[in-house]
A and B are shown apart, each in its own frame.
Chain A
Amino acid sequence: MPGSVPKPAIPVIEANHLTKRYGSKLAVHDLSFQVYGGKVTGFLGPNGAGKTTALKVILGLLSPSSGTATVYGQEYKQLDTPLAVVGAVIENPPFHPARKARDSLKISAACMGFSYTRIDEVLNLVGLYDVAKSRVKTFSFGMRQRLSLAAALMGNPPILILDEPANGLDPQGIHWLRQFLRSYVSGGNTVFISSHVLAEIAQLVDDVVVISQGRLVAQAPVGELLSRTTTSLRVTSPQIDKLVKVLEPFGVNIEVLAQQTVLVTGKDEGINALKVGQLAADNGIVLSELVEQRSSLEDVFLDLTSSLPTKRFSQ
């Protein structure tokens, strides 16, 4: 029945074999990924991985050496009213220091033919309404980040591209940003947000695109990355050699941490604290410590970014 076949999701942002070269240095290499609508997609990678470069190519600020980057199937440069389609916060907040906050947004409003009342709306939204008439040079970095977000929201766009937006924000600011982006996406909008700190956006994102050294290393729903976390057991025993011999047939990884302490990592769910305790008791082995340790999403991220081959999971 034709109607019962679910339509494949159409990406709102797409990078196809994107490469950006600066002389002999490859900042982005053959990068392909998709960002789907109605979700928060994290763009992760260590410092210098090429995140900002890739985002700038998507936004038409940099020309790719090869490959394409599109928004709704079009290059950013081809969009008629780009700020009504994509709102972006890129790197350092781009405001003239001597210009007042409100005047900085007037430029966008005038360019897009918006009423100036929209300026008050977005300043209110980001909590800068009270300082609208202050010059940007009097702002803290966090306030400038908020002003950048206000500028990005001017056109009420369905897509937000944010490059490390939490930089300079205090914990309350980060909490506010998470809540704001969640509510923004709940309205069917899309957020593509970069960060080099997974923990910062782990609670926020639905999908992740992970890059390292300019190359894609993973693209997956965040839940799938979570399933890649592993459980380890920290075991201390005066008869540690005997315990190791008992555990070896189970195909576990055993890392010696100290003279009587090892870290046991199961290759599957077959080994856990209960089972190790039972095996020790059955073999008359005394245990002085048995602690279960679960690896974090951060560990998965570090693992991914320290190795290069692409790990593309189901979308």
Chain B
Amino acid sequence: MKFQRLMRSEFVKFKSTRSFFVLLGAFLVMMWLVAFLLALGIAFMIALGTSVNGSVVAVTPKLVQTFLISDTFWMVFLVLFGITVMAGEYRHNTVSMSLLLVPKRWQLLITKAVTSFLLGAVVMLIGVLGSLMIWFSMGKKSYSTWNTWIKAIFSSRVGLEVLILILAAGLLGVIGVGLGSLITNQLGATVLVLAWWFIIENIISAIPRTAPAGKWLPYHAFMSFIGAGNLFGNSTHSTIFSFLPQWDGALVLFGYAVVFLSAGLFVVTHKDV
């Protein structure tokens, strides 16, 4: 079956229910809310005469990059989106119709993974552009000029960061599809991911005995990839702020996407519907 048709079919599924829009919309709202609060915080500090990082605030590429990395807290929504793409089919029993249409199950799963990657990437791009606009509109009056913003935003450092965020967002969508194939109970998978993202992994990273493994876990690998080590500093101690080198993080996150998708593929191709 032609891959192009399968993709179109998946996009029809996406466009024809509100749940996907709600999920991705919620992600964008949260992202822009964090962006707004970040800009507000800096403006507030300037008003109080406080410096940032011991120096007078200046809009540099590094500051914009720091903003972008701080603005990724709710990217877990992209994993939930991937879960919904796959587990939602089981929840509403539409999976039988999908498999009648696409009986070669690997084709269905790969199409869903690619769709989730693309949608995650596009939504991330929209989110980043929105956040930059918020910072620009709020920050140009209070602590910088138009030119310094333009220079910072169009710097190679920020450009690379945006690309990394888009790629990471896509990979999170793929991980979600893999998870949704492994745990077909949509609610169960959602609760598990939220618990993992916000609680479990941080606990593992904080407990001295398990902490060395922490930076290899999915959330930390994601944070490493997007450059959290640059933001928080790469702690050599075993804490939740211990990250892998950036490109090692990229490889580990990519590895998780491959592992989850492969495991999901195995389950989907062997599961009775």
Identify the A interface with B (CB < 8 A). Answer: 56, 59-63, 76-77, 79-83, 88, 90-92, 94-100, 103-104, 106-108, 110-113, 151
Whether the pair B5, A83 counts as a contact (CB closer than 8 A) is: no
> Is B12's CB within 8 Å of the partner chain A?
yes
Q: Does B18 count as interface, using CB distance less than 8 angstroms?
A: yes
Known contacts: A94-B96, A106-B16, A107-B9. The answer to whether A81 contacts B1 by CB under 8 A is: yes
Q: Is the CB of A107 within 8 A of B273?
A: no
B199 interfacial contact with A, CB 8 Å:
no
A194 to chain B, nearest CB (A): 15
Taken together as a complex, chains A and B put the C-alpha atoms of A268 and B60 apart, in Å, by: 102
Nearest Cβ on chain A to B6's Cβ, whole angstroms: 6
With a cutoff of 8 Å between Cβ atoms, the chain A residues found around residue B13 in the complex are: 96, 107
| Additional 12 contacts, C-beta under 8 A, given A88-B100, A99-B17 | A56-B272, A77-B104, A83-B100, A91-B96, A94-B97, A95-B94, A96-B17, A96-B92, A100-B16, A107-B16, A111-B6, A111-B102
Query: Please, how many angstroms separate the alpha-carbon atoms of A96 and B16 in the complex?
Result: 10
User: B100 — which chain A residues lie within 8 A by C-beta?
Assistant: 59-61, 82-83, 88, 90
Residues of chain A lying within 8 A (CB to CB) of residue B97:
94-95, 107-108, 151
Tell me, yes or no, whether B101 is within 8 Å of chain A by CB: yes
CB of B103 closer than 8 Å to a CB of A: yes
Tell which of A79, A90, A108 touches B103, judged by Cβ atoms closer than 8 Å: A79
A46 to B205, alpha carbons, bound, how many Å? 57
- In the complex, which residue of chain B has the Cβ closest to the Cβ of A99? B16
User: Count of chain B residues with Cβ under 8 Å from any Cβ of A?
Assistant: 31
Complex CA gap A98/B100 in Å reads: 21
A63 contacts B16, C-beta separation under 8 Å: no
Our pick among A59, A83, A91, A98 for the contact of B18 (Cβ within 8 Å) is: A98
Q: Is chain B's interface secondary structure helix, strand, loop, or mixed overall?
A: helix
B interface residues with partner A (beta carbon < 8 Å): 1-2, 5-6, 8-9, 11-13, 15-19, 88, 92-104, 270, 272-273
Q: Which of B11, B13, B95 has the most CB of A within 10 A?
A: B13
Give 12 CB contacts A-B under 8 Å. A56-B272, A56-B273, A60-B103, A63-B270, A76-B103, A80-B1, A94-B93, A94-B97, A97-B92, A104-B16, A111-B8, A112-B101
Closest to B92 in A: A96
Structural contact, B5 and A113, CB atoms closer than 8 A: yes
CB distance B99 to A110 under 8 Å?
no
Nearest B-chain residue to A81, judged by Cβ: B1
A96 close to B94 (CB less than 8 A): yes
Measured CA separation A97–B94 after assembly (Å): 10
A77 contact set on B, CB distance < 8 A:
103-104
Q: Which of B9, B96, B98, B270 is A90 in contact with, Cβ under 8 Å?
A: B96
From B17, B93, B95, B99, A60 is in contact (CB under 8 Å) with B99
Residue of A nearest to B4 (CB): A113
Instruction: Give the CA-CA distance A107 to B273 in the complex, in Å.
Output: 19
Contacts A79-B103, A88-B100, A97-B92; A111 near B1 (Cβ below 8 A): yes
A82/B103 contact (C-beta < 8 A), A56-B273, A98-B19, A111-B1 known: yes
CA–CA, A63 to B273, complex, Å?
9
Pairwise interchain contact A107-B12, C-beta atoms closer than 8 A: yes
With the chains together, A238 CA to B272 CA distance in Å? Answer: 64
The interface residues of chain A lying within 8 Å CB-to-CB of B98 are: 107
Across the interface, which residues of A come within 8 angstroms of B19, CB to CB?
98
